[in-house]
Chain A
Amino acid sequence: MQSNAALEYDYSVAKLFTYTAILFGFVGMLIGTLIAAQLAFPELNYLLGEYGTFSRLRPLHTNVVIYGFTLSGVWATFYYSAQRVLKVSMAESKFIMFLGKFHFGLYLVAAVAMVLTLLMGITTSKEYAQMEWPLDIIIVVIWVTWGLAMFALIGIRREKALYISMWYFIACFLGVAMLYLFNNMEVPTYFASGGVGSMMHSVSMYAGTNDALVQWWWGHNAVAFVFTVPIVAMIYYFLPKESGQAVYSYKLSLLSFWGLMFVYLWAGSHHLLWSTVPDWMQTMGSIFSVVLILPSWGSAINMLLTMKGEWNQLTENPLIKFMVLASTFYMLSTLEGPIQAIKSVNAIAHFTDWIPGHVHDGVLGWVAFMIMAALFHMAPRMFKREIYSKKLIEAQFWLQTTAVVLYFTSMWIAGITQGMMWRAVDEYGNLMYSFIDTVTVLHPYYAIRALSGVLFLTGFLMFAYNMVKTMTSSRKLEEEPQFSSPMA
């Protein structure tokens, strides 16, 4: 066996993605806060001329937080943790290093192009797949590069068994690849019409109801394979590592994995209940959404039980706090989702603010918390300095938790109010409210939501400041911490 004395894990690519996660997190949440405020105070629509209206900015918000913040976070943690669970360094292969850097470079180009085209209104209008065809092609190249880097790392691994996190990363890669390709099948009109009009425009290969089916098959599973699968991969690595406790039941984690893979895809059509999609598909979507509680809770409970007998860490270590709350919010939103997918509930909930409310207890409480905790955990190891301030993390935790609670409670009330008012009839069976009545009544809830956005954004700024200070001016560490991250 050769000597590995000089060999170290190489975190250069993980660092790059950490920077973009912080940058895009800030941009995405800033836009999110602005558009939340616009709903309460419409004058805010005119800050940037035609580029500042709610409608133009809303897709920018979703895309920047999904593809900017979340994917950066996913890849930062991937390039960090994959090396470690496979016990192989990226520095061992020039090819893998090149792939990693190329992956990042192209990603940055695509992300900037995405922001610009969406601001200009160049969009396919399919939610979470708004990028036009030239960007789609770049995205495919980025995705393939990531796949190559991942399988190349796996190819030279020393640890023969793939840790459960790697299972989830592989599933993320495969799932998104398949769904994204199918959903973005489109024909560029410039080339199909003999050179008339704009080069950027394209039409979808699918029309009407079919397009809706393919889109929500994607839209729902973008949530599955970007917001759930890789985040579960993170928590399976970072919670045990930070707490020093092995996963409570490894077998349960394997089973929940297969359960999640099997069930998740079926649930896509629950976005189309009561639409013109065939009934049996709506019913399938509904049923499988409810079944989906099982594998989701399997993972979440497994995480909570990992802390069994070690709950004192919850008070001592703020990162554990973040991760435990993240799994709790994961349980909440995976219970809430199936409830909304029940047809009779959906009849009231669909099209209302309850839906963004549901999305945000997932993405703020689960995704963002988990990514921030993971990046905090990685920082002392990547930059060889202790975390700048424990107090700041504590303050950030409470601020952001308050923000999430304010967000989903206000949107629950807003959504149900709106849903009930739309269908309210008087004693003669006539509609009781005109549409605008159901809008003006929501003003206080929109204002609360805007406030919660400001709180969460402030918390994120504290996170960013803490990270930057950690990188630059915190106390240096002599050797790598084994479990809990050192912080001042």
Chain B
Amino acid sequence: MFHWLEKNPFFFSVGVFLVIAFAGLIEILPNFAEASRPVVGLKPYSVLELAGKNIYMKDQCIACHSQLIRPFKAETDRYGQYSLSGEYAYDRPFLWGSKRTGPDLHRVGNYRTTDWHENHMWEPTSVVPGSIMPAYKHMFTNVADIATAYAEAVTVKNIFKTPYGDEIQPGVEAFEAHKPAILAEAQKIAAGMKNQDVKDAVKAGNVPEIVALIAYLNRLK
């Protein structure tokens, strides 16, 4: 039997495959149903928040910030209630991160405001002296991709049964119909900001990246 494993590349490959696949079968697959159950009262991300999440990904905030509060006193004192599995039920992908060059952001919406984020993203050292985070001034001029965020909402609604309302429907017309609602939400964020260019852009129907990102960060609670 071992002779065959050593001599026959096919049996050898099958053997290797079984040995390595086995851990995955046990560890990964059967756990799925349970871990994906949302906590009570969890709402799916709004389209604007999804757009903000996509900017969080585009500029890779995840390279330095985690979104996972571990169950230690030092962490709950610093960041708030430790993270629960069900809170991530609508996170595709998960954005836990693996490095905290900056602080955890899982509940940043509880203790930071629109206005704080605006100052911080424009010039981090203005609110956190000594910060080594780069300024993200380009977010104030780049326009967020709302259409793709809308497409993402449609996708998770139709394929993964994320509970969105009837306003989220496939097709470009449905997106155009929903757009005023997204802009209204952006307007609310922009009202809390002082940058005039951003306010003007939102009025003109464009959502700068910073607005979407702040909507997302405020949502993290």
Taking Cβ atoms with an 8 Å cutoff, the residues of A that contact B are 38-39, 42, 45-46, 49-50, 53-56, 58-59, 121-127, 151, 154, 160-162, 167, 170-171, 174-175, 178-179, 182, 187, 189-190, 192-198, 201, 203-204, 206-215, 217, 258, 261-262, 264-266, 268-269, 271, 274-278, 281, 284, 347, 350-353, 355-356, 422-425, 430-431, 435-436, 439-440
Do A170 and B93 touch (CB < 8 A)? no
Do A208 and B100 touch (CB < 8 A)? no
Residue pairs across A and B with Cβ atoms less than 8 A apart, 30 shown, are A45-B134, A45-B135, A50-B59, A53-B136, A124-B93, A125-B60, A171-B20, A178-B21, A178-B24, A189-B155, A193-B151, A193-B170, A196-B147, A198-B148, A203-B93, A206-B93, A207-B94, A208-B35, A210-B32, A211-B91, A212-B88, A212-B96, A215-B94, A265-B20, A268-B23, A276-B84, A278-B35, A353-B99, A355-B99, A422-B78
Residues of chain B from 135 to 152 with CB closer than 8 A to chain A in the complex = 135-136, 138, 142, 145, 147-152
Q: How far is the CA of A21 from the CA of B155 in the complex (A)?
A: 39
Residues of chain B from 71 to 119 with CB closer than 8 A to chain A in the complex = 71-72, 74-75, 77-78, 83-85, 87-103
Q: How far is the CA of A146 from the CA of B13 in the complex (A)?
A: 15
B12 contacts which chain A residues (CB < 8 A)?
162, 167, 170
A123 contacts which chain B residues (CB < 8 A)?
57-58, 60
Do A58 and B60 touch (CB < 8 A)? yes
Do B27 and A196 touch (CB < 8 A)? no
Which of A125, A174, A190, A277 neighbours the largest number of chain B CB atoms within 10 Å of its CB?
A: A125
Q: How far is the CA of A121 from the CA of B62 in the complex (A)?
A: 12
Do B28 and A203 touch (CB < 8 A)? no
Do A206 and B151 touch (CB < 8 A)? no
Name the contact of A126 in the complex, choosing from B35, B93, B152 (C-beta under 8 A): B93
Name the contact of A265 in the complex, choosing from B23, B71, B84, B97 (C-beta under 8 A): B23
Q: How far is the CA of A178 from the CA of B28 in the complex (A)?
A: 13
Name the contact of A211 in the complex, choosing from B7, B93, B129, B149 (C-beta under 8 A): B93
Q: How far is the CA of A217 from the CA of B22 in the complex (A)?
A: 12
The 8 A-B pairs with the shortest beta carbon distances in the complex, nearest first, are: A208-B88, A197-B148, A121-B58, A194-B170, A265-B23, A45-B134, A276-B85, A193-B151
Main secondary structure of the interface of A (DSSP, over half): helix
Q: How far is the CA of A281 from the CA of B31 in the complex (A)?
A: 10
Name the contact of A189 in the complex, choosing from B13, B88, B102, B148 (C-beta under 8 A): B148
Do A197 and B147 touch (CB < 8 A)? yes
Do B172 and A194 touch (CB < 8 A)? yes
Do B154 and A189 touch (CB < 8 A)? yes
Closest to A125 in B: B57
A269 contacts which chain B residues (CB < 8 A)?
27
Digitize B113-131: 1 where CB-to-A-CB distance is under 8 Å, 0 elsewhere.
0000000000000001111
- A49-B138, A423-B74 known; A217-B6 Cβ under 8 A: no
Number of A-B contacts (CB under 8 A): 264
Q: How far is the CA of A123 from the CA of B62 in the complex (A)?
A: 12
Closest to B33 in A: A210
Do A439 and B131 touch (CB < 8 A)? yes
B87 contacts which chain A residues (CB < 8 A)?
208
B175 contacts which chain A residues (CB < 8 A)?
196
A170 contacts which chain B residues (CB < 8 A)?
9, 12-13, 16
A56 contacts which chain B residues (CB < 8 A)?
59-60
Q: How far is the CA of A201 from the CA of B148 in the complex (A)?
A: 7
Do B152 and A201 touch (CB < 8 A)? yes
In angstroms, how far is the closest chain B Cβ from the Cβ of A280? 10
B9 contacts which chain A residues (CB < 8 A)?
151, 154, 162, 170
Q: Residue B64 at the A interface, CB < 8 A?
A: yes
A45 contacts which chain B residues (CB < 8 A)?
134-135
- A125-B57, A276-B88 known; A178-B170 Cβ under 8 A: no
Q: How far is the CA of A189 from the CA of B147 in the complex (A)?
A: 10
Name the contact of B132 in the complex, choosing from A42, A167, A192, A196 (C-beta under 8 A): A42
In angstroms, how far is the closest chain B Cβ from the Cβ of A254? 8
Q: Residue B54 at the A interface, CB < 8 A?
A: yes
A124 contacts which chain B residues (CB < 8 A)?
57, 93
A151 contacts which chain B residues (CB < 8 A)?
9
Which of A45, A55, A121, A192 neighbours the largest number of chain B CB atoms within 10 Å of its CB?
A: A55
